[in-house]
């Protein structure tokens, strides 16, 4: 059954929750439901990028190489606040914040896109958007950046900082299809608010990129459509009815 791509209003969001296609833990409160979105609250876990590390030779600046799958190091400091505490985001500072709610998408035709609230943007906070896939379950990690040069911005656990817009896709994916990202399983499926282990992309892909063999990457892992396969398997027939050898 083909579906029309659409944005869910608050009525469809509530209907999806009632049907078991969508859930939040803890559940939504009345302040969060908007005409065509759901506001998400700040959790208690904040992650700050490290700029130095202590080694055998002493204090050294931290060289973060996200394609180095041999020398994995902790690149983020974790701060867990109490509900009555606050976090001062410094000018020009970038952090990651966990959401207070876990989101559980239990449908193969439902996705969500994360956006900043307009009130958040007006405070000088930049939030990067992202796609939440069908069948995703877990907390969200929100990239947050203070765009001001001189102002610290106070963030309160529990405040509404971002919003989720839900869409119906044109076709429905199976759970197995949804949980296959490229050639691997999703890296952050089931993540909890206090967890942010850095997980690498597939080693095969990383090794090819680090070696600079981009042409090999495309040749080895090129996506071939079903139509391409069918065309290759067809043997053209000549006017005399003889089969011509396919050319590759």
CB count in 10 Å sphere of residue 155: 22
pLDDT band for 69, please (50, 70, 90 cuts).
Answer: low
pLDDT of residue 118: 96
Question: For residues 112 and 132, is the Cβ–Cβ distance under 8 A?
Answer: yes
pLDDT of residue 206: 84
Which span out of 1-5, 156-160, 225-229, 236-240 was modeled with the highest average pLDDT? Answer: 156-160
> Closest by alpha carbon to 188, among 242, 122, 136?
136
Helical H runs in the chain?
10-18, 118-122, 175-178, 203-211, 214-221, 226-233
pLDDT of residue 120: 97
Mean pLDDT of the chain: 84
pLDDT band for 108, please (50, 70, 90 cuts).
Answer: very high
Q: pTM, whole model, 2 decimals?
A: 0.80
pLDDT of 229 strictly over 50 = yes
pLDDT band for 116, please (50, 70, 90 cuts).
Answer: very high
Per residue in 181-226, pLDDT (tens digit) is: 776 666 556 666 556 655 667 778 888 898 999 998 999 888 876 5
pLDDT band for 105, please (50, 70, 90 cuts).
Answer: very high
pLDDT of residue 182: 72
pLDDT band for 248, please (50, 70, 90 cuts).
Answer: very low
Q: Which two tokens stand for residue 70?
A: 């041999």
Percentage of residues of the chain with pLDDT beyond 70: 79
Any idea which residue has 């992309």 for tokens? 201
pLDDT of residue 12: 97
C-alpha span between 210 and 212 (Å, rounded): 5
Q: Is 19 helix (H, G, I), strand (E, B) or coil?
A: coil
Question: Torsion over CA of 91, 95, 101 and 107, rounded to 10 degrees?
Answer: 120
Question: For residues 126 and 50, is the Cβ–Cβ distance under 8 A?
Answer: no
Per residue in 4-46, pLDDT (tens digit) is: 569 999 999 999 999 999 999 999 999 999 999 999 999 999 9
162 vs 129 pLDDT, higher one:
162
Question: For residues 171 and 48, is the Cβ–Cβ distance under 8 A?
Answer: no
C-alpha span between 49 and 36 (Å, rounded): 34
pLDDT band for 240, please (50, 70, 90 cuts).
Answer: very low
Q: What is the H or E stretch that residue 227 is in?
A: helix 226-233
Question: For residues 146 and 90, is the Cβ–Cβ distance under 8 A?
Answer: yes
């Amino acid at each position: 059954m083909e579906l029309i791509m659409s944005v869910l209003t608050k009525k469809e969001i509530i209907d999806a929750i009632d049907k078991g296609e969508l859930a939040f833990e803890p559940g939504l409160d009345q302040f969060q439901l908007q005409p065509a979105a759901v506001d998400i609250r700040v959790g208690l876990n904040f992650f700050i990028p490290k700029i130095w590390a202590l080694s055998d030779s002493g204090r050294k600046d931290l060289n973060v190489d996200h394609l180095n799958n041999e020398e994995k190091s902790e690149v983020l400091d974790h701060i867990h606040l109490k509900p009555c505490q606050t976090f001062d985001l410094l000018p020009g500072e970038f952090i990651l914040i966990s959401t207070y709610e876990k989101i559980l998408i239990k449908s193969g035709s439902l996705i969500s896109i994360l956006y900043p609230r307009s009130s958040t943007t007006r405070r000088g906070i930049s939030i990067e958007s992202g796609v939440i896939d069908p069948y995703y379950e877990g907390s969200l990690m929100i990239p947050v950046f203070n765009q001001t040069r001189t102002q610290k911005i106070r963030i309160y656990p529990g405040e509404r900082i971002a919003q989720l817009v839900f869409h119906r896709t044109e076709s429905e994916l199976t759970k197995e299809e949804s949980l296959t990202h490229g050639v691997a399983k999703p890296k952050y499926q089931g993540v909890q608010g206090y967890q942010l282990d850095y997980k690498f992309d597939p080693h095969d892909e990383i090794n090819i990129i680090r070696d600079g063999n981009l042409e090999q990457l495309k040749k080895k892992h090129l996506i071939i459509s079903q139509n391409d396969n069918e065309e290759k398997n067809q043997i053209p027939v000549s006017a005399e009815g003889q089969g011509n050898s396919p050319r590759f």
